[in-house]
Amino acid sequence: MPRTHGGWFRLVAVAEAYSWAGLLIAMAFKYGLDMSLGVTVMGWVHGAVFTAYVIACLVVFSPLRWSFWVLVAAGLSSIPPFATVVFERWAGRRGLLEVPDTDAPTFWGRVRYVLRELN
């Protein structure tokens, strides 16, 4: 079981790719063999895992100190099949899945500060 933000992100990114594969296989059965039940089930599974991936991106981008553009790239990688794994490998090579040692505020810390100043 993952214990870090990067580990959870990796888990969800790979699960999203597997759900894409399952959906594509189910679509082959639907249109090739006229068996549509698989698309109903795998469509639901893929939708749930896709939602989990988007939520994981929004949860981990602040502690991992991702820039806005890295967050956008992570979100866009959920659209083409298997691109979440490509993004995860790229982010891992660049060290974006490790929490940096810094005292700078996170994104949500900055938002909290701004909201306090507005009140």
pLDDT in tens, 16-34: 999 999 999 998 888 888 8
List b or e across 40-73, with b for residues whose CB sees 16 or more CB atoms inside 10 angstroms.
eebbebbeebbebbeebbeebbbebbbeeebbeb
* pTM for the full predicted model: 0.84
pLDDT in tens, 42-57: 899 999 999 999 999 9
Cβ-count burial of 14 within 10 angstroms (0-12 exposed, 13-18 middle, 19+ buried)? middle
CA distance linking residue 24 with residue 14, whole number of Å:
15
- Residue 90's pLDDT band (cuts 50, 70, 90): very high
